[in-house]
Structure formats: C-alpha cells, structure tokens
Chain A
Amino acid sequence: MFQYTVRRIIFTVPTVILTVSIIFFVLRVLPGNPAVLILGDSASAEQIANLQAKLGTDLPIWEQYIHYAVNIIQGDFGNSLTTGRPVTEQLLSLIPHTLELALAAVFIGALIGIPVGIITAVKRNTFIDGFFRLGALIGISMPAFFLGLLLLIAFSLKIPLFPSLGAGKGIVENLHHLVLPAFSLGLINAALVMRITRASMLEEVNRDYVRAARAKGLPKSKVVGKHILRNTLIPVITVIGLDITTLISGAVLTETVFSRPGLGSLAVGAIKTRDYPTLQACLILFAILIIFVNLLVDLSYSVINPKIRAK
C-alpha cells in the first residue's frame, strides 16, 4: 500500500510539469501582445517596449519559459496586472473559499446521492424509485447556476432564510453564506451520484457472491450494507472524483451567481481584464487541483478494491 502510494505520487510529477508547460505555451501563442492590450492602442512604441521589458515578454520564448518555471517552483506567480499585488497572495486568500464550496458540494452529493441510490436500487420499480429517478433526471439536466438562481429566489428573496451574496465573516456567518451555493452545486452532484450508485448496485445484486452471502444466513441488511455496498462504491468513487473537476467549473459560475469571492470569480475577472499572470496562476492551480484529486481517487480505489492494490 505504501509503495503503491509513493509510486502514484511520483507519477504525478511529470503530469504536473507537462500541464504547467502547456498552460505557458498556450497563453503565449494566444494572439495579441499583452503590453499593447494593457496600455491600449494609443500607447507609444517606447511605452510598449518598456512594459514588455518589465513583463519580460521581450525575451526569447525559451528564456521566458525558464524564468516562468523557476518562479513557479519558488511559488512566485508574478504580480497582478490590475491590482499590482503578488498573485500568490491573492490565490492563497481565495483558495479556502473555493475549496470550502467544492468540498461542501462533494459532501452533499455523497451524503444524499449514495443513500438515495441504495434505496432506489433496493426498492427498484416502486413509487419511491420513480420519484427519485425523476428528481435525479431533473438534477443532471439542470446547470448549477440555474439551480443557484432558483434557490436564491426561493430561499433568499421569497423566504429570506439565507444571504444572497458574499462569503461572510467568522465561522457561523461563513457557513450561513455557504448553504445556498453549496446546495446548488451539491444537489446536482447528488443527482449524478445517485444514478451511478443505483446502476452500480443493480449490477451487483445479481452477482453470485450475493446469493452465497445469503446462503450463509446473513440478514438482507448486512448483505446490502456490507457485501454489495463495498463493490458498488468502486464506480461511485470514480464518479465523485471525476465530478470534482466539473465542480470546479461549476464553482466558477456559482461563485459568480452568488457573488462569492473565490478562484472562479478571480479567474473570470482576470479574463475580463486580460490579467495574464493571475489567469495563468488560476489555470495552474485548477490543473494541479485536478491532478491531486485524481491521485486521491486512485488511492481510495486501492483501499476499496484489493485487486488494484496487488498490481
């Protein structure tokens, strides 16, 4: 297990290097000179040259790349072109907000999705099953920001239970602000998790080991809760893991809808103002986050599925 973990961590290094490099080159091949974009059309050639020197965009691309790589290793993503503050500082102050939102959405998704998935599989083709399946169908068909808007109208405007914008200060207020955005992302996530859990469970119930477990005299609850569940969870965890990547893009929109501070709104702002260093840093962070999540998914597999551990 330890060996496997170490090996998987080592494997992520080339992935990270490759991703970071791709982000660098993609942003460099984008048309338009950042200096011109920042200064505007009316800037003189001298001003542009000065700014290029300051930004380092006048250097040959390989030299820029080395600078970029060295800086990143040192945790330096440059300064924001709009605020002038170090990007790293901005990121660090915003990461907790996005992470909090994404984690809350994952929890809500799993906490609602897995049990409901199990119930609908056990009560297959009954009213309960149909009811939740319809709900899930609506859930996966609806974008998170739309559900966000509906929740805002319902629980912030009509019944003012929750605040409509910002993230709040202090733990209590913070959690209070988190409820609506977390549910708008989490409920949609729950729909997906429920469908996968149900499908996976229905596939497992007909396996031989289930009948064998019944033949041992295990009560049905134990057969479902232990034997079937463990095997059901393997695909479910993949989906939850893969879904975190969707959640990040979902977070961008949800943060915008609820005017929450976070990486999403930071990235959207950076695109609008052509703030390359900030955008670059956001992209790298998203990429690393996704690689990290994939690593976690892989590791959790090996805990659940002994066959993977052995390989």
Chain B
Amino acid sequence: MVLDVKNLSVGLGTKDNQKLILNQVNFSVKRGETVAIVGESGCGKSMTALTVMGLLPEPVVSLVSGEILLQGKNLTNLSQKEMNKVRGKDVAMIFQEPMTTLNPSFTIGNQLGEIFKIHSNLNSEEIRKKCIEMLTKVKIPDPEAKLKVYPHQLSGGMRQRVVIAMALACNPKVIIADEPTTALDVTIQAQILDLLVELQTQFNTTVILITHDLGVVAETCQRAIVMYAGQVVEEGSVEELFEHPQHPYTKGLMDSIPRLGDARGKLHVIKGSVPDMDAMPQGCRFNPRCEVATDICRKEAPELEITSDGRRVRCWHKL
C-alpha cells in the first residue's frame, strides 16, 4: 500500500461546536493504481484530498482523528515544516481550475522551476532543463519558449498541462487530481485524461482521481470509492461497481448516467439532496433518499462491511 487512510474524521467549526464533515473515512491505495473517489458535491471528496495534503483551511476546518500513512509514515503527525517536504515531492495535487491555479504574475518557468528549487539541489541551468523536459512530457509545443510565458497567454487546456507538469515534477508517489477536467471543454477533457493515464503508466504513479463524472471513472480508473455525506458507502473495482452496485446510492448514481438509446424516457434522478450537516438523519445517512430503506435504516447506522468478493459496502440491504 502506498497510501493508507485510516479512520479519518474532519470537523468544521470550533472544538465545542464541531460538526464532522468527514466521518471515519477509510481507504487504501496500491502503487501504480488509479482510484476514483466519486460522489455528489459536498460529500467530502475534496476535503479528503485537502486532508491528505495537509491543506485544510484551519482553524475553520480541522483534523479530528485518524491516520494518513504514506508508505508507513503518518502524515498527520508531521509539523507544517516537515509536511512542506512531503507536499509536491511525495504527494502532489492537481486542482480543478487551471485558470486560477497558476499565479498570474509569474512566468510558467518560474512557477515550475520553483518546485525543483525547493525539493532538489539542482542549479538554475539544470532546473531550466528539467522544466523543458517536464513541459515536453505533458506535450506542450515549443516548451523552451513557454517557460517565459505568463499563464494568461495560455489556453485552459495548456494551463492544465502545466499544472500536471508541476504535479509530476518530483515524480511523487501519489497524485491527487481534484476534478482535473471539470473546468475544461469536452475535447480537451479527453486529451487531458489520456495524458494523465499515459503519464501515470510511464511514471508508475498512484493517482487518486476525484470526480463526479462517472464516464471519466469508467475510462480511467481501476477502483472506485463512493462517498456520501462524509462517509465511504461503497468501494470496489470499477467493473463491479458499474455492473452490480450493492449500495442503493451507487445504484442511483449509475442509473443517473444518461444512456444513448433510451433517450425518450425521463432521466433518472436520486430524489432529494445531500443532507445538511446540522440535520444528519439518524441511522443510515442515505435513508431519507433510499428506495429500499426500512425501519432498521432509520434507527441504526450500518457499518462498512467487507463482502465475500472483497468489496466494501455500508448498507443494511445490500443489493
């Protein structure tokens, strides 16, 4: 296991009035694997990513309990200073908005080179060469000239390539890609995903892909973790999840994918919306929206159980 997240709980607000936005999140990721974290907006996907990166907007949001083991090293015990040596080098992150992720006032070369400056002992000429090499890897044409260019002079797709180059710069063990293609148009999305998959194989990096786009999951990931209201509700291989979802929520998500062919019928929706943190339902958090919910669902919260085929499901009535 490269990354092992154990019983991660994250709270919003001060100690005496804290609401858990992540509740006992558990998952682990193998080397070279691409794992998706899927779920609706507000289910805690991005918070999970920020927690792993140690970039929670403290003191508003803070870690309550849990361990994040990166190759056995617990990141939650590290000071900010020690964490600076991990960020960008061992764990890197690709953000959603390429338009605003790059600093408008510095050249691409400067922002890319900065990573080598802090994480390696290379001199400025070697850094320049490394930067050109990275830009070539992410297939940016004329990389040498692009070093002197400012972010606003590049298109969204090109900027996202730069962001990917930055994430890959130090050959990190884990890359967390938080909705890397959401802000891009469809043709560019496909290019960026292809690039990500290609580089992932080339560098043998582990990628955690956070998305709400199940099409992207099907295309790029081997395994998926489904999150709902700050909890993991189901986990399994992408194939199994798509073919036989066991949690009603996962099934709802799968059914919500519009398919060619049955264009005449109405689109499937999961009724209701993600519960408010202040008003978490008793029992299973999904019960008010669940089609198969019974009394036990409304009274007792189910545990995340490992099923016979090695999948994990949090449900009283597995499908």
Residues of A within 8 A of B (CB): 207-209, 211-220, 222, 226-227, 230-231, 304-307, 310
B68-115, CB < 8 A from A: 80-81, 84-89, 92-93, 95, 97, 100-107, 114-115
Q: Tell me the total A-B contact number using a CB cutoff of 8 A.
A: 77
How far is the CB of A104 from the nearest CB of chain B, in Å?
29
Bound CA–CA A220/B85 (angstroms) = 12
Q: A209-B100, A215-B87 are in contact. Are A231 and B105 (CB under 8 A)?
A: yes
Bound CA–CA A305/B150 (angstroms) = 10
Q: Please indicate which of the listed interface residues B88, B103, B153 has the most CB atoms of chain A within 10 Å of its own CB.
A: B103
**Are A212 and B114 in contact, with the CB atoms below 8 A?**
no
Contacts of B257 in A (CB 8 A): none
Provide a sorted-by-A list of 27 A–B residue pairs whose CB atoms are within 8 angstroms: A208-B95, A209-B101, A209-B103, A212-B163, A213-B103, A215-B87, A216-B88, A216-B114, A216-B166, A217-B86, A217-B88, A217-B119, A218-B88, A218-B118, A219-B84, A226-B106, A227-B103, A230-B103, A230-B105, A230-B106, A231-B104, A304-B105, A305-B104, A306-B152, A307-B150, A310-B152, A310-B153
B233 within 8 A of A: no
**Are B105 and A306 in contact, with the CB atoms below 8 A?**
yes
Bound CA–CA A219/B119 (angstroms) = 11
The chain A residue sitting closest to B102, CB to CB, is: A209
Number of B positions contacting A (CB below 8 A): 31
Residues of B within 8 A of A (CB): 53, 55, 80-81, 84-89, 92-93, 95, 97, 100-107, 114-115, 118-119, 150, 152-153, 163, 166
**Are B115 and A216 in contact, with the CB atoms below 8 A?**
yes
How far is the CB of A216 from the nearest CB of chain B, in Å?
4
Bound CA–CA A297/B163 (angstroms) = 32
How far is the CB of B60 from the nearest CB of chain A, in Å?
11
How far is the CB of A122 from the nearest CB of chain B, in Å?
14
- With contacts A207-B100, A209-B100 known, what are 8 further pairs, Cβ within 8 A? A212-B103, A215-B92, A215-B93, A216-B88, A216-B115, A219-B84, A230-B103, A230-B106
Contacts of A214 in B (CB 8 A): 55, 87
The chain B residue sitting closest to A229, CB to CB, is: B105
Bound CA–CA A114/B178 (angstroms) = 35
Bound CA–CA A105/B223 (angstroms) = 64
**Are A217 and B89 in contact, with the CB atoms below 8 A?**
yes
How far is the CB of A160 from the nearest CB of chain B, in Å?
48
Q: A208-B97, A217-B118, A220-B80 are in contact. Are A231 and B103 (CB under 8 A)?
A: yes
